Amino acid sequence: MRRLAGCFLIILVVIVGAGFLAAALGYPVLPRIGEWLEVSTPIEPVDVVVALGGDRRRQAEAARLARQGLAPHVLFTGSDVEERDYECEGVPREMAAGLATPSYTTWEEAAAVRDVMKKNGWKSVMIVTSPFHSRRAVWTFRRTLSGSGAKVLYAPASYGGFRLAEWWKSHMGRKCVVTEYAGLVYYWARS
C-alpha cells in the first residue's frame, strides 16, 4: 500500500507540475485544476443536512438550509462537535440530530453519517463543505452509502480563503488544492 501511495503521489506531482508548465506556456489549465474540485448537485429537500467538520461556516450554512425548509434534521460532524453547537447556530432542538461518532477524516465522517442515517431510516443527505473539498466529500459519501439507496447532494459553505479559479496565487490555495488532490488519490487507492 505504501508503494502504491508513493506512485500516486508522484503522479500527482507530475500533473500539478504539468499544470504550471501549461500555464507558463499560456494555456489556462491552472484555473480548471482548482475548479474541477467543486462538484454541483441540485439543492432540493433531503432528510438531513450534514455540516462536515473543519470550519464553523459549514455549520452555519447547514443550519440556514434546514431553517429554509430543505431538511427536517441537521447533523454536525467532526472531532469537536458539541450539543451546544446546534443552539449557537440557531437550530431548533427538534431539528438537531444529536452527536455522531467523533470523526477526524472525511471517510470517518461518512461512516458516522451512514450509521445515523441507518438508525433513523433516512434516505437522502445534503453535505455542506467547502467548495475545494466537495469532490472528495461527495465521492466518499456516495461510496460509503452505496447499496443503501441513499441520495447524496452537496451545498457549498462560504469560504473566504481563496478562489478556486486562482488557487495557485495564495499559500492557502496551493495547500488546499494539492492536499485535496492527494486525498482523492489516497481515497481512490484505499477503496
Q: What is the mean pLDDT of residues 103-122?
A: 97
User: DSSP label at 80?
Assistant: S
At 19 the pLDDT is 61
Domain ranges for the chain, please list them: 2-37+168-190, 48-156
The pTM score is 0.86
How far is 8 from 185, CA to CA, in rounded Å? 6
Angle at which helix 134-145 crosses helix 106-120, to 10 degrees, equals 40
What's the CATH number for 48-156?
Answer: 3.40.50
Percent of the chain with pLDDT over 90: 74
Confidence category of residue 124, pLDDT binned at 50, 70, 90: very high
Beta bridge partners of 129: 156
Q: What is the mean pLDDT of residues 126-141?
A: 97
How far is 43 from 4, CA to CA, in rounded Å? 37
- If you write DSSP's letter for every residue of 94-125 in order, what string do you get? TTEEEEPPP-SSHHHHHHHHHHHHHHHT--EE
At 28 the pLDDT is 74
Better-predicted residue by pLDDT, 41 or 14: 41
At 25 the pLDDT is 57
